[in-house]
Structure 1
Amino acid sequence: MLNLPAVQERRSLREQVTHALRAALVAGELRPGIVYSAPVLAAEFGVSATPVREAMLDLAKEGLVEVVRNKGFRIVGLTEQDLDDFTEIRELIEIPATVRVAQTATRAQLEPLRAHARDIVTAARQGDLIAYVDADRRFHLGLLALHGNRHLVDTVRDLRSRSRLYGLQALVSAGRLVESAEEHERLLDAMIAGEVKGVEELITSHLGHVRRLWAEGN
Structure 2
Amino acid sequence: MGRRARVPAQPGPVDVERGSGTGDGAARGEHTHGEPAPVPPGVPSVVPPVVRPVVRPVVQRASVRGQILDALRAALVRGELRPGEVYSAPVLAERFGVSATPVREAMQQLALEGAVEVVPNRGFRVVERGARELAELAEVRALIEVPVMLRLARTVPAERWAELRPLAEATVRAASTGCRFTYAESDRAFHRAVLSLSGNSQLVQIADDLHRRAQWPLVGAGPGTPRGRAELLADAHEHTALLDALTAGDVDVVRVLVGEHFAGA
User: 1:82/1:170 Cα in 2 relative to 1: closer, same or farther (>3 Å)?
Assistant: closer
Residue 228 of structure 2 is aligned with which of 171, 175, 190? Answer: 171
**Identical counterparts, % of pairs:** 47
Tell me which residue corresponds to 2:263. 208
Q: How large is the RMSD of aligned CA atoms in angstroms?
A: 2.6
The structure with more radius of gyration: 2
Is this contact kept in 2: 1:22–1:161, CA < 8 A?
no
Is this contact kept in 2: 1:116–1:138, CA < 8 A?
yes
Q: Which structure's relative contact order is higher, taking Cα pairs within 8 Å and 6+ residues apart?
A: 1
Is this contact kept in 1: 2:139–2:262, CA < 8 A?
no
Tell me which residue corresponds to 1:105. 156
Q: CA deviation at 1:151?
A: 2.3
TM-score (norm 1): 0.78
Residue 34 of structure 1 is aligned with which of 79, 85, 95? Answer: 85
Tell me which residue corresponds to 1:146. 197
TM-score (norm 2): 0.65
In terms of fraction of residues, the more helix-rich structure is 1
Output the CA distance in 2 between the equivalents of 1:101 and 1:43. 48
Is this contact kept in 2: 1:102–1:191, CA < 8 A?
yes
Tell me which residue corresponds to 1:213. none
Tell me which residue corresponds to 1:14. 65
Q: CA deviation at 1:26?
A: 4.4
Q: How does 1:190-205 map to 2 (within 5 A)?
A: 190-205=245-260
Residue 187 of structure 1 is aligned with which of 231, 242, 248? Answer: 242
Aligned residues: 199
Output the CA distance in 2 between the equivalents of 1:44 and 1:116. 33
Structure 2, gaps ≥5 residues long: 1-61
Q: CA deviation at 1:130?
A: 0.5
Structure 1, gaps ≥5 residues long: 1-10, 211-218
Output the CA distance in 2 between the equivalents of 1:114 and 1:88. 26
SS at match of 1:74: strand
Tell me which residue corresponds to 1:131. 182
User: 1:85/1:180 Cα in 2 relative to 1: closer, same or farther (>3 Å)?
Assistant: closer
Deviates more, 1:126-135 or 1:36-45: 36-45
Is this contact kept in 1: 2:245–2:253, CA < 8 A?
yes
